[in-house]
C-alpha cells in the first residue's frame, strides 16, 4: 500500500475535490470522525468545511493546516469498506490524528480503489500537532497494515551504496566529465523514462541537459547526443561532451531502447494512478505554480516545467521518486497536459495583476479623500480588495454613492399625494 500526505492551506479545495467524485458517482463517504452525521447521510462541501471551521479559526501560526492523505492498496487487493474504515482509523490514530475531525472518502473512479482522508493538523487550542518524520512513520504504518490486512507489499526498490555518488553536478567543482559520467551511469538503474523530454527533465535535477545532433557520416545520416552542464539558472555552463565519452548506455540508440522498454512497462505501472490522483489533489489545493511544486515535492514528486522563449509552457513532466518513474503530463491524463497548466497559470497571472491594479487604485482613491469613510465600509480595506460577492450579498442596502435616489424620492411623493384627501367642490 502506498500513502501520500498532501499539506496545504485550501481546505475547501480538498473537500471539493472529493465531493466531485461523489457527485459523479465515483465516490462515497465511509467515515466521519468527530464530525456530526446528517439525518440523510449526505454531506455538502460547505457543511463539511463548516465542521472544520473552529479548528481553522483557532489556528495560531500554522501556514499549511490542511492534510489530504490518500491510502492506495495494490489494484489486485480486494478491500471491503469495513477494512478501509479499520485501516483509516488505525492509520490516523498512529499518525496522531485520532482526536481530530476527519472525513474518509472512498474513490472508485480508477482501477485502484482507494481512500482519501481530509483533516487539519491544528487543535482547538490553535497549536500544531507534531508531525516530525511523518513520512517515515507513514511508511512504517503502511507496512504493518499490509501485514494485518494481508495486502500486497509496496516496499521501495532496493538501494545500494553506489547512490552516494548519485548527486547533482557542480560546474564550479571542475572535472565535469567525471561528474556527468557518475550520473549517467546510475540513472538507468533507478529510473524509468519513456522519451527524450522525460529523460532531460530528470537530467535537469542533476544540472545536466542532453541535445540531439544530426549530421552525415560517409554519406549516411547520423544522429547522436551531446551533454552539457547547467548552472543555477538552467543555462549551459560547459562545452559539449559527446555521448560516446560516457559509454554505450548514454548514446541515443541505447536510450531509445530504454525508452521503448520503459514505455511498455509504465502502461501497467500501478504508480500511475496514485501519481495522477496526487497531482490533481495538489491542483485543487495549490494557490500558484510555486505552491504546487512545493506540495508535490513534499510527497516525493518533482514537477518540471518547460517554457519556450515567449514564456509559453510546452512541457510538463512529473518525476515520482517513490516509484522511480518519469511521466509527461499528457501521458498521465489529458487534464495534466502542458496546455492546461499554461492556461491555468496565465489566468492566475492576469487575475493577480488585475487585483494588484485594483488595490493600487483603491489606495490612491482613499488617499485622495479628505473625509474618513463610515465604519460600515471597514471591510473594504487593502486586505480584502475583491469582496464584490459580499457587496452583492447585502442586497442593495448600501446607500447610493452619488447622493439621493431620485426615483425613490419621486415614488414617495406620488404616494404622499394619493394619501391626501380630495378637496370639496
Q: Which tens digits make up the pLDDT trace of 28-40?
A: 999 999 999 999 9
Beta bridge partners of 209: 228
Q: How confident is the model at residue 50 (pLDDT cuts 50, 70, 90)?
A: very high
pLDDT for the residue 53: 97
Beta bridge partners of 301: 320
pLDDT at 206 over 70: yes
Alpha carbon 414 to its chain centroid, in Å, reads 61
Q: Which tens digits make up the pLDDT trace of 54-110?
A: 999 999 999 999 999 999 999 899 999 999 999 999 999 999 999 999 999 999 987
pLDDT at 402 over 80: no
pLDDT for the residue 221: 75
pLDDT for the residue 270: 87
pLDDT for the residue 119: 98
pLDDT for the residue 111: 77
Q: Which of the two residues, 414 and 401, has the higher pLDDT score?
A: 414
Beta bridge partners of 71: 3, 115
pLDDT at 365 over 90: no
Residue 404 Ramachandran class (φ > 0 left, ψ -120 to 50 alpha, else beta): beta
Provide the 3-class DSSP secondary structure of residue 284.
helix
pLDDT for the residue 414: 52
pLDDT for the residue 217: 63
Q: How confident is the model at residue 209 (pLDDT cuts 50, 70, 90)?
A: very high
Residue written as grid cell 489556528: 59
Beta bridge partners of 119: 67, 102
Could you report how far apart the first and last alpha carbons of the chain are, in Å?
A: 97
pLDDT for the residue 366: 52
pLDDT for the residue 380: 31
Residue 199 backbone dihedrals phi, psi, to 5 degrees: -60, -45
* pTM of full prediction above 0.85: no
Q: How confident is the model at residue 220 (pLDDT cuts 50, 70, 90)?
A: confident
Are the C-beta atoms of 318 and 294 separated by less than 8 Å? no
Percent of the chain with pLDDT over 90: 70
Range in 42-51, 106-115, 393-402, 412-421 the model is least confident about: 393-402
Report the range out of 177-181, 345-349, 390-394 with the highest average pLDDT. Answer: 177-181
Question: CA distances (Å), 33 to each of 77, 84, 104, 119, 285, in order?
Answer: 25, 14, 8, 10, 22
Q: Which of the two residues, 157 and 294, has the higher pLDDT score?
A: 294
Taking the C-alpha atoms of residue 261 and residue 8, their distance in angstroms, rounded to an integer, is 36
Provide the 3-class DSSP secondary structure of residue 314.
strand
pLDDT at 382 over 50: no
140, 141, 143, 147 alpha-carbon torsion, rounded to 10°: 140
pLDDT for the residue 281: 95
Q: Which tens digits make up the pLDDT trace of 284-323?
A: 999 899 999 999 999 999 999 999 999 999 999 999 998 9
Provide the 3-class DSSP secondary structure of residue 27.
strand
Taking the C-alpha atoms of residue 400 and residue 394, their distance in angstroms, rounded to an integer, is 13
Q: How confident is the model at residue 222 (pLDDT cuts 50, 70, 90)?
A: confident
pLDDT for the residue 149: 97
Q: How confident is the model at residue 352 (pLDDT cuts 50, 70, 90)?
A: low
Q: What is the mean pLDDT of the chain?
A: 84
Concatenated DSSP letters for 234-288?
S-B-S--EEGGGG-GGGSHHHHHHHHHHHHHHHTT-THHHHHHHHHHHHHHH-SS
Cell of 149: 490486512
* For range 117-142, the mean pLDDT: 96
Q: Is the dihedral of CA 18, 21, 22, 28 positive or negative?
A: negative
pLDDT at 23 over 90: yes
Amino acid at each position: 500500500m502506498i500513502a501520500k500526505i498532501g499539506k496545504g492551506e485550501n481546505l475547501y479545495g480538498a473537500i471539493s475535490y472529493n465531493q466531485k467524485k461523489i457527485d459523479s458517482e465515483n465516490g462515497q463517504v465511509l467515515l466521519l470522525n468527530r464530525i456530526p452525521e446528517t439525518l440523510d447521510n449526505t454531506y455538502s462541501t460547505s457543511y463539511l468545511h463548516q465542521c472544520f471551521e473552529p479548528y481553522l479559526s483557532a489556528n495560531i501560526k500554522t501556514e499549511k493546516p490542511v492534510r489530504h492523505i490518500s491510502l492506495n492498496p495494490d489494484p489486485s487487493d480486494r478491500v471491503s469498506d469495513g477494512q478501509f474504515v479499520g485501516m483509516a482509523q488505525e492509520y490516523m490514530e498512529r499518525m496522531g490524528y485520532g482526536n481530530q475531525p476527519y472525513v474518509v472518502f472512498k474513490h472508485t473512479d480508477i482501477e485502484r480503489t482507494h481512500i482519501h482522508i481530509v483533516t487539519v493538523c491544528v487543535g482547538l487550542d490553535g497549536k500544531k500537532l507534531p508531525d516530525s518524520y511523518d513520512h517515515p512513520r507513514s511508511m512504517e504504518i503502511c507496512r504493518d497494515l499490509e501485514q494485518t490486512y494481508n495486502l500486497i507489499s509496496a516496499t521501495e526498490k532496493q538501494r545500494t551504496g553506489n547512490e552516494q555518488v548519485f548527486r547533482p553536478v557542480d560546474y564550479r567543482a571542475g572535472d565535469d566529465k567525471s561528474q556527468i559520467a557518475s550520473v549517467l551511469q546510475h540513472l538507468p538503474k533507478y529510473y524509468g523514462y519513456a522519451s527524450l523530454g522525460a529523460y532531460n527533465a530528470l537530467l535537469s535535477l542533476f544540472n545536466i541537459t542532453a541535445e540531439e545532433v544530426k549530421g552525415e557520416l560517409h554519406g549516411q545520416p547520423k544522429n547522436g547526443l551531446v551533454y552539457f552542464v547547467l548552472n543555477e539558472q538552467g543555462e549551459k555552463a560547459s562545452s559539449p561532451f559527446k555521448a560516446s565519452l560516457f559509454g554505450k548506455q548514454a548514446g541515443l540508440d541505447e536510450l531509445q531502447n530504454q525508452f521503448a522498454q520503459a514505455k511498455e512497462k509504465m502502461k501497467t505501472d500501478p504508480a500511475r494512478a496514485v501519481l495522477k490522483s496526487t497531482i490533481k489533489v495538489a491542483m485543487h489545493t495549490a494557490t500558484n505554480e510555486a505552491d504546487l511544486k512545493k506540495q508535490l515535492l513534499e510527497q516525493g514528486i518533482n514537477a518540471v516545467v518547460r517554457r519556450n522563449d515567449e514564456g509559453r509552457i510546452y512541457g510538463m513532466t512529473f518525476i515520482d521518486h517513490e516509484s522511480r518513474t518519469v511521466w509527461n503530463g499528457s501521458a498521465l491524463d489529458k487534464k495534466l497536459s502542458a496546455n492546461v497548466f499554461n492556461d491555468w497559470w496565465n489566468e492566475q497571472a492576469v487575475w493577480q495583476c488585475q487585483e494588484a491594479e485594483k488595490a493600487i487604485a483603491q489606495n490612491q482613491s482613499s488617499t485622495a479623500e479628505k473625509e474618513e469613510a463610515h465604519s460600515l465600509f471597514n471591510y473594504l480595506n487593502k486586505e480584502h480588495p475583491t469582496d464584490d460577492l459580499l457587496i452583492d450579498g447585502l442586497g442593495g442596502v448600501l446607500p447610493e454613492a452619488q447622493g439621493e435616489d431620485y426615483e425613490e424620492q419621486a415614488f414617495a411623493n406620488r404616494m404622499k399625494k394619493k394619501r391626501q384627501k380630495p378637496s370639496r367642490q
